[in-house]
Amino acid sequence: MGKNKLKKFADMKRMQCVFQFPFAVVQQGGCPMRGKWNEQYFNNGNPIVLELGCGKGEYAVGLAQRFPGKNYIGVDIKGARMWTGAKMATEQGLPNVAFLRTNIELIDRMFAPGEVAEIWITFPDPQMKKVNKRLTSTRFLDNYRNILKDGGLVHLKTDSPFLYTYTHALVEENRLPVEADTDDLYASGMADDILDIKTHYEMQWLQRGLTIKYIRFALPHGVELVEPDIDIEPDTYRSYNRGYIQMPQLMHDAENDNNP
């Protein structure tokens, strides 16, 4: 492991906005913060909004900046990426954003039933070969319902035609209430102050000429969800290699501050 990554992990241990719990602790007794996020960290009763697979945390930080009346938690297993958003939140003194390092599969051990109001899923891996790994599959939606309030919102923002088509079909098959739906966000006129937040990877997709898809739907309790029976054409492009940084200036990337 490189020295820079080790430094980031050390930094995160000192950041009050970052929560990390050993897997054994979570497996045996659940997250110590479960059901207590507002009481013990945010110190208010505002709605909690999650960004799952938050990466560098741009959306969680951007939302927290714009909407102080809500509490935001970025969730990811990649701590070295999350460090960027956590550093920005710490330097800006944002009281309504936190970061949780964990597997999304364990999300219902981290939050109590009804503790979460909304979930954002921003530019996840479409998982074209494995249905049960898609973050909008029935497997994950059922898990989200364990923590979402009844009718809580799920937002998907993606570059992937495959994942958008799949999610659209799943929502339609299960007659889930749809609040917004477009296969070309920035041409639709729907991009408002929330949706105009652009992550590092979104900027890459836009520069490559790809359209951004967005769907927002409610997730009622007590409804048995089924997978759609649909053949979907795979995406015809690939992500850049991990080491490729196309727009290093994005969001005043805090990583540059670590290398004077």
Spatial separation of the C-alpha atoms in residues 144 and 205, rounded to whole Å: 27
> Which residues have CB under 8 Å from 120's CB, separation 6+?
49, 50, 51, 52, 59, 63, 155, 157
Q: Tell me the β-bridge partners of 116.
A: 148
Check: CB of residue 54 under 8 Å from CB of residue 85. yes
| Set 11, 76, 108, 125: catalytic member | 125
Active site residue 125: yes
Q: Bridge partners of 215?
A: 156, 181
CB-based contact 53:75 (threshold 8 Å): yes
Angle among Cα 155, 156, 159 to the nearest 5 degrees reads 155
Catalytic residues: 125
